[in-house]
Structure 1
Amino acid sequence: YVMLVGGRHGGIGTEKWWCPVRYTHLDDGSHWEASYISDLYYADIYKYDNGNATFDDWDSNGNGIFAEWKMTGRDKMDFYPDVYIGRLACRNSYEAQKMVEKIITYETTTYGQDWFKKMVGIGGDTFPDQSDPYYDGELSILESKDYMEEVGIETTTLFTSDNTLTGPDDIINAVSQGCGFLNFEGHGNPMSWANHPPYDGDTWIGIDVMDFHKFSNTGMYPVCMIGGCHNSQFNVSILNLLKFGEIKDIYYKSEWSPESFGWWIVRMADKGAIASIGNTGLGYGAIGDNNDDGIPDTLQFYGGFIDGEFFRVYAEEGKDILGETYGTTLTNYIMKFPPMEDQIDAKTVEEWVLLGDPSLKIGGYPS
């Protein structure tokens, strides 16, 4: 297990980091970003070259541009995590101290508690389309619900389709009652998460970081899955507002958030989550049933698959050390969808980051 400790601590023209980050250079043609953070770089140590294990530096062409995938060429990478990695993106010693206390509290007091046997799942119609009969986010929640029921964990669903999700207070109230797992499936940015009512792409219902202070789940911290774009983009900073030449773009993308959604919900003292998993960049999902196999594509590909696979690995493979659950999920995805064969599969695994202690015992230890 390898835990990286340290986030961004300032810098305007050049970011400053307590613990370094690696930016990939995969350009997906979205015109949103051509680079994003990937902690998978630190976990993928080796690759096999003609049967021999060699160091995988994610720069196979030696041009100094890491994890490159552009029209002009690409780096050949292994992707498989060789160690179980996680990061505490702490920006100061106070956050670090509070995270240590929170992790110790979790591992020594959670075991056997009734609240741990609950999950809160939040979703809606992620890609509203009259030709698509599926409410993608809700289907993802229902899939994770089925897996967790296998190990005795009950799920409270908050859905836009049945009006159990009408605003942030619904989320605050459900989480504050205590839950061992928290699953968001929808859309996001560094500051907020939301989803749509059925077939209504103009309406957004969700929660943002300014609501987090309302959580009152002291001592009852869930492992949090965040399906959405950029929720775990932990390089954001309010200092980005000083980049005057880019201010319009920065404001629109919420890159001026003091801290990212995925880290903020974890680092809060005495409330929030114990760890989160989410995307540092633009996330992807599938819609409809284009392969005509009777299974919604949202569950079979990209973000919908990898998020659901985490819960399957926990429930069916019995992986209850957080980093191992996370790392096994990545490995299973890479085996099923070789990233060097598809640019979006590569991005899906590169950007999926664990913000938490990889050695954490999910559910805690017996006293």
Structure 2
Amino acid sequence: YFIKNAIEEWGIEYVMLVGGRQGGVFKERWLMPVRYTNLDDNSNWETGYLSDLYFADVYKYEDGNIVFEDWDSNGNGVFAEWTMRAKDTLDLYPDVYIGRLACRNVWEVKMVVNKIIEYENSNPASQEWFKRMVLVGGDSWPDANDPYYEGEEEGKAALSYMDGFEGIKIWTSLGTLTGPEDVINAVNEGCGFLFFDGHGNPMNWATHPPHDEETWIDGLGVEDMSKLANNGMYPVCVVGGCHNCQFNVSVFNLLRIYEGFDEWYQYIWKGEISPECWGWWLARLKDAGSIATLGYTGLDYFAIGDYDNDSIPDCVQYYSGFCNVNFFKNYANGVKILGVIHANTLIDYINTHDVMKDNIHCKTVEEWVLLGDPTFVIG
């Protein structure tokens, strides 16, 4: 009840959770608590995922009265449940602006805080590099019958809102995305925003060339991030891709051989042995990387084709594409505080889609996390 009490006693509007996972072999050990959902999307990949929205969704309406939202409407002690047998009805509207610095030690805290202060004191909006927007994408669903290159369509839609910004298109269809060096070179020249849309895991981001499902083109992995040299020119990064912001990963997962070989190998195959996840690694880099990263803690679902027949690619209207694109729309509408943009985008999603009738809509809202300072002013 601490956040609820802080709202009611101190009138707070922003909450920054500071702390990530600090090891743990038999049981995860956290410097700052986390909440896992219990939504089973029938993917056979995960039956739950991290959701910081839990800490922001403090209230709900019950019989016309405002009451505490505990994410356990059926009272069975299982939070944010959505399975074949049971389902919690959730409010999901954020009541505070939430963000997390998933720091694992004091050194990381000092480094990230100094990086934020450096950004705020440098007046980035007055500098040429800030007006560059790097767009990284390709054909996320490379089906011959699908006319859209989803990662690039989302980039086009996002850029359409960003008046005055130069779009640096690192796309497979243009031949400008051939590997990590293309992304690194573009970021090292400086940019105010960095937008990836494609496929990911906690250690890597990649995509496909047009209509070529067999070929993968890496965009950026955690092993490449040491080559970033954009000192003092830190973008806000929005990443579309599965698990890029799954901030519970740890090298300690390598020690979980006691769970059996098959389970142990899953940690390796899924990229869950990374010291830190892709999104947080990018944000906590010293003198490089992003100033904050927004992405997904679980499987990132995106739409394909134009099944609603409105001549707009569905990938920009539904699921992760809605969040990714509308983040930039909210920025263009004059909102400059990062946590407010994040919250407003979630509210837009909930108001547009019936999130309690479609578990993938619900999952998209729950898993979209801000790894950064929610009070941070862009530019």
Tell me, yes or no, whether TM beats 0.5.
yes
C-alpha distance in structure 1 between counterparts of 2:290 and 2:101, whole Å: 13
How far off its partner does 1:323 sit? 0.3
Q: Which amino acid aligns with 2:293?
A: S
Instruction: Give the alignment of 1:134-283 within 5 angstroms.
Output: 134-148=148-162, 150=163, 152-205=164-217, 206-244=219-257, 245=260, 246-283=263-300
How far off its partner does 1:290 sit? 1.1
Residues 208-249 of structure 1, C-alpha deviation per residue, up to 9 Å, x if partnerless? 100000001000000000000000000000110111122211
How far off its partner does 1:295 sit? 1.1
Correspondence 1:83 to 2:83: no
Residues 300-351 of structure 1, C-alpha deviation per residue, up to 9 Å, x if partnerless? 1111111000000100x21100000111000000110121111000000000
Kept after mapping to 1: 8 A contact 2:125/2:131: no
Corresponding residue to 2:360 among 344, 349, 358: 344
C-alpha distance in structure 2 between counterparts of 1:92 and 1:132, whole Å: 46
C-alpha distance in structure 2 between counterparts of 1:143 and 1:281, whole Å: 24
Q: Which amino acid aligns with 2:171?
A: F
How far off its partner does 1:276 sit? 0.4
Unpaired segments ≥5 residues, structure 1: none
C-alpha distance in structure 2 between counterparts of 1:303 and 1:230, whole Å: 12
How far off its partner does 1:293 sit? 1.4
Larger CA deviation: 239-248 vs 11-20: 239-248
TM-score using structure 2 length: 0.94
How far off its partner does 1:114 sit? 1.1
Q: Which runs of 4+ in 1 moved over 2 A?
A: none
C-alpha distance in structure 2 between counterparts of 1:207 and 1:107, whole Å: 26
Unpaired segments ≥5 residues, structure 2: 1-13
Counterpart residue number, 2:308: 291
C-alpha distance in structure 2 between counterparts of 1:64 and 1:91, whole Å: 29
Residues 46-77 of structure 1, C-alpha deviation per residue, up to 9 Å, x if partnerless? 00011110000001111111000000110111
Correspondence 1:27 to 2:40: yes
Q: Which amino acid aligns with 2:349?
A: Y
The count of aligned residue pairs is: 360
C-alpha distance in structure 2 between counterparts of 1:360 and 1:287, whole Å: 33
Per the alignment, in what secondary structure is the counterpart of residue 220 of structure 2?
strand
Counterpart residue number, 2:339: 323
Instruction: Give the alignment of 1:1-20 within 5 angstroms.
Output: 1-20=14-33
How far off its partner does 1:111 sit? 3.8
How far off its partner does 1:163 sit? 0.6
TM-score using structure 1 length: 0.97
Larger CA deviation: 239-248 vs 158-167: 239-248
C-alpha distance in structure 1 between counterparts of 2:132 and 2:317, whole Å: 25
Larger CA deviation: 348-357 vs 284-293: 284-293
Q: Which amino acid aligns with 1:93?
A: V
C-alpha distance in structure 2 between counterparts of 1:25 and 1:153, whole Å: 40
Kept after mapping to 1: 8 A contact 2:17/2:100: yes
C-alpha distance in structure 1 between counterparts of 2:296 and 2:316, whole Å: 17
How far off its partner does 1:289 sit? 1.0
How far off its partner does 1:158 sit? 0.4
Residues 171-194 of structure 1, C-alpha deviation per residue, up to 9 Å, x if partnerless? 000000000000000000000001
C-alpha distance in structure 1 between counterparts of 2:303 and 2:290, whole Å: 28
Per the alignment, in what secondary structure is the counterpart of residue 257 of structure 1?
coil
C-alpha distance in structure 1 between counterparts of 2:15 and 2:366, whole Å: 17
Larger CA deviation: 170-179 vs 332-341: 332-341
Larger CA deviation: 244-253 vs 165-174: 244-253
Per the alignment, in what secondary structure is the counterpart of residue 37 of structure 1?
coil
C-alpha distance in structure 1 between counterparts of 2:55 and 2:373, whole Å: 15
C-alpha distance in structure 2 between counterparts of 1:295 and 1:64, whole Å: 42
How far off its partner does 1:299 sit? 1.1
Correspondence 1:131 to 2:148: no
C-alpha distance in structure 1 between counterparts of 2:52 and 2:286, whole Å: 24
Residues 116-152 of structure 1, C-alpha deviation per residue, up to 9 Å, x if partnerless? 111100000000101101111000011111111x2x1
Corresponding residue to 2:327 among 307, 310, 334: 310
Q: Which amino acid aligns with 1:41?
A: Y
CA RMSD of aligned residues (A): 0.7
Q: Which amino acid aligns with 2:247?
A: F
